[in-house]
Amino acid sequence: MSLFRRKPSESDRIDAFWSWWSQEGSAYCAEALAAHDAQRAVPALGQQIDRLHDGLAWELAAGAVSEHALVVSAEGSPELRALTRRWLLAAPPASETWSYSDVRSPLRDLDGASIGLRDGELLALDEVTVAARRTGTRLDLTVHHPSFAGLAEDVRLRIALLVLDAAIGETAVELWIGGITPSELAPRDGFGLVPLRAFVERMQSEYVDPDGVPSWILLRGEGPRGPVVAAVTVPLHPATSPLLTHHVGLLVPYAEVTDEGLPAGASLDGLQALEGRVAELLGSDGRVVAHESAAGVRLLHAYADGATDAPDRLRRAQLGWGEGAVEVEVTPDPAWDRVRHLAT
């Protein structure tokens, strides 16, 4: 008998969860919900999700295409987003009874809706008021509900996040909402969650096309070596691509420059072609998200799925760049910290 047991891999844990779910979990949870006794499912389902990873959030909700939905969320943790996405990709097809998600979806109808809190209390969403201030591509929000009076700050913030998830969905909160201030006092210029949803949808449409493809914007600034020009995708956030956990930085020298040290002429055309080759090498396992140019050097930022060979493909690739040696550096970065300074 072996003295040491191999620790189950992420893939093992995901497989074990779906095996339990297909054999007994789905039927057990459906029976509990049919009996209006969701709490009966909590111990068994919670134990199985804890075996996936500590710190995951989960809920049983009404499904958009099914009677019930099982949601397992990273709850904003960059380190857990890839796990929950792989859990979702391994899920069985949606049925009349069950569908699955790795993010909380917004409620379809906010009128008269409420959300349940941990103590069993219902919070009426039509009593929520918010005030918004746009900063770049994000909204800073003040969130108020009458029940906030007397609650601790961390409790108010947790409830505010649940309210916003219900109104616009967990992903939209991560992508488009900046600071969140829960307030015991109603804001003077406050409005309800229905107008907030419309506001966020309009702002998203400015930057993301109907197929979900982000747009590119240009930024200019000054660095220690002179003027810097950057092109970045919006939104620039790991929630857009949960599996892309590894930053791939390519430092590319260029020969033809403007007086400011920015790329020009044949070098500019060559850099654009090089970016296309990098995107082609990554394929569906990654994408280019930004680049910065200054003083004769371009830093190309890409993210890749670290569970594939995409990072190594770029390391090994013959990029055919004739204006100097290209340096490639791969770094685990599930939070996309390497491009945080470029987020708008």
* Predicted structure pTM score: 0.92
First CA to last CA distance, the chain:
57
Structure tokens at 179: 């600071």
Task: Put the strands of the sheet holding 177-183 in their side by side order.
Answer: 129-135, 138-144, 177-183
If DSSP codes are grouped into helix, strand and coil, which group holds residue 186? coil
Instruction: Check residue 3 and give its pLDDT.
Output: 52
Instruction: Check residue 117 and give its pLDDT.
Output: 77
Instruction: Check residue 119 and give its pLDDT.
Output: 64
* 124: enclosing H helix or E strand: strand 122-124
How far is it, in rounded angstroms, from Cα 237 to Cα 125?
28
Query: Before 106, cis peptide (omega within 30)?
Result: no
What 8-state DSSP symbol labels residue 270?
H
Q: Give me the domains of the chain, ranges plus CATH numbers.
A: 10-101 (no CATH), 114-206 (3.30.300), 215-342 (3.30.70)
Instruction: Check residue 1 and give its pLDDT.
Output: 45
On whether the CB atoms of residues 193 and 145 are closer than 8 A, the answer is: no
The CB density around residue 139, as the number of other CB atoms within 10 Å, is 22
Mean pLDDT by 10-residue block, N- to C-terminus, for the chain (344 residues)? 69 97 97 93 96 94 93 94 98 97 94 80 92 95 93 93 96 96 94 96 94 93 92 96 97 97 97 96 97 98 97 90 95 97 92
